Amino acid sequence: MAIVVVCPSCHARFQVSEKFAGQKGPCPKCKNPINIPKLEDEVKIHAPEEFAGGGKDTKGRPVLKPIERVETKVNPVVTVIVLAAIVLSFGVAFMMRSQDFKDSLVFLGVSAALVAPLVSLGGYTFLRNQELEPYTGGALAVRVLICSIVYAGLFGAMWALKHFLMGEGPLETWNYFVLFGPPAVIGALTALATLDLDFGNGFFHYALYLGTCILLRLTAGLPVM
Distance CA 195, CA 207 (A): 15
pLDDT at res. 214: 85
Helices (H) and strands (E) in the chain, counts: 5, 4
Number of folded domains in the chain?
2
| Pairwise CA distance, residues 175 & 162, whole Å | 9
Dihedral angle sign, alpha carbons of residues 99, 100, 101, 103 = positive
Same domain, 136 and 35: no
For residue 179, pLDDT beyond 70: yes
| Residues 12 and 84 placed together within one structural domain of the fold | no
| Per-residue pLDDT, 13 | 79
**What integer pLDDT is reported at residue 217 of this predicted model?**
82
Same-domain check for residues 121 and 163: yes
CATH number of the domain enclosing 29 = 2.20.28
Which residue range forms the structural domain that includes residue 190? 76-219
Asked whether the predicted pLDDT for residue 100 surpasses 60, the reply is yes
Position 169 scores a pLDDT of 64
- Are residue 125 and residue 166 in the same domain, yes or no? yes
Does residue 208 contact residue 115 with C-beta atoms inside 8 Å? no
* pLDDT tier at 7, thresholds 50, 70, 90: confident
Average pLDDT across the chain, whole number: 77
Task: Say whether pLDDT at 18 is over 80.
Answer: no
Q: Is residue 196 part of a domain?
A: yes
CB 63 within 8 A of CB 55: yes
SS3 53: helix
Kindly report the pTM of this predicted structure.
0.61
pLDDT for residue 50 is more than 50:
no
